[in-house]
Amino acid sequence: MATITLKGNEIHTNGELPVVGGAAPDFHLVDTELNDRSLADYKGKKKLLNIVPSLDTPVCATSTKKFNDHAAGKDTVMLVIAADLPFAMSRFCTGEGVDKVIPLSMMRSRDFAKDYGVLIEDGPLAGITARAVVVIDENDKVVYTEMVPEIAQEPDYDAALKHI
């Protein structure tokens, strides 16, 4: 279990982020066309997982836009993963000009959040994810993780981007 805060108030996740150097857990998420997506869909590519509570919050929106800006020209797939419905994620991306980040929804299952140790278990955001970044190499090994200690803070972009 990880301890994080929401505006200074302690809350907890169900576990810890995957271990750096270990195999990335598989996942089953939903894209904006309602297709199921798994880790295998991005085989052979580096993957940056920007895990956010909801795109409908200022910090989540900012992190998604910043990672989108860094996606151009990279041999890396930038995924933003949230509990939002795919329709809402699509509207956000279209409205904000986010065209390089791939939005994926947990609408069919919370297994991703459980397997990656980011499922918030208590407090007002129980049932959705903590803010985290996971970078996975082209061989599906975890090369970087960050559990953002305060949900209202942005992740360390520079540290994550060094690994792609």
Torsion-angle region of residue 127: left (phi > 0), alpha (psi -120 to 50) or beta? left
The pTM of the full predicted model, rounded to 2 decimals, is: 0.93
Domain ranges for the chain: 3-161
Task: Give the tens place of pLDDT for each residue, 55-110.
Answer: 888 878 788 888 778 875 667 899 999 999 999 999 888 888 888 899 999 999 99
Query: What beta strand segments (E) does the chain contain?
Result: 3-6, 9-12, 28-30, 36-38, 46-51, 76-82, 102-105, 132-136, 142-147
CATH architecture of 3-161: 3-Layer(aba) Sandwich (3.40)
Helix (H, G, I), strand (E, B) or coil at 48: strand
Amino acid symbol at 27: F
Please tell me the distance from the alpha carbon of residue 126 to that of residue 93, in angstroms, as a whole number.
Answer: 25
Active site residues: 60
The pLDDT of residue 108 is 93
Task: Give the tens place of pLDDT for each residue, 30-52.
Answer: 999 999 999 999 999 999 999 99
